[in-house]
């Protein structure tokens, strides 16, 4: 399995710091055009993949949605006729918008 190439690998390959790589990839005016070009070319060559958590942190958005589903031993929501279609619609809509979905089943829902 191929591992993701991050800022550290691009920095090592270009001989600059990780912060310079970050600034170059984000078109900072503090970095010369020559360094930007060199870093971007090397990043493309190596298959650079930005860190999703770092990007989310910088943007102040997680692009994550939590879905809490009631769970009772006698009533399993996934066996209800409407639930798979509902879940499919939620997943399709959120994933097409670039969100990840976490599903939690809670057997105490409504009892707090």
pLDDT tens series, the chain, 112 aa: 567 889 999 999 999 999 999 999 999 999 999 999 999 999 999 999 888 777 777 778 888 899 888 776 666 666 667 778 888 999 999 989 988 899 888 877 665 4
Of the candidates 69, 63, 66, 75, which has an alpha carbon nearest to the alpha carbon of residue 99?
Answer: 63
Calpha distance 31→68 (Å, rounded): 46
Residue 54 pLDDT: 75
- pTM score, whole prediction: 0.54
In this structure, which CATH number among 1.10.3720.10, 1.10.10.10, 1.25.40.10, 1.10.260.40 belongs to the domain 7-54? 1.10.260.40
Residue 62 pLDDT: 84
Calpha distance 35→39 (Å, rounded): 6
Question: Domain spans of the chain?
Answer: 7-54, 63-106
Residue 47 pLDDT: 94
């Amino acid at each position: 399995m191929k591992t993701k190439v991050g800022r550290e690998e691009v920095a090592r390959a270009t001989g600059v710091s990780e912060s310079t790589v970050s600034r170059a990839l984000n078109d900072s005016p503090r970095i010369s055009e020559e360094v930007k070009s060199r870093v971007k070319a090397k990043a493309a060559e190596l298959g650079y993949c930005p860190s999703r958590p770092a990007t989310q942190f910088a943007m102040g958005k997680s692009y994550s949605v939590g879905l809490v589903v009631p769970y009772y031993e006698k009533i399993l929501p996934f066996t209800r006729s409407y639930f798979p279609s509902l879940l499919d619609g939620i997943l399709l809509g959120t994933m097409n918008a670039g969100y990840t979905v976490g599903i939690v089943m809670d057997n105490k829902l409504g009892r707090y």
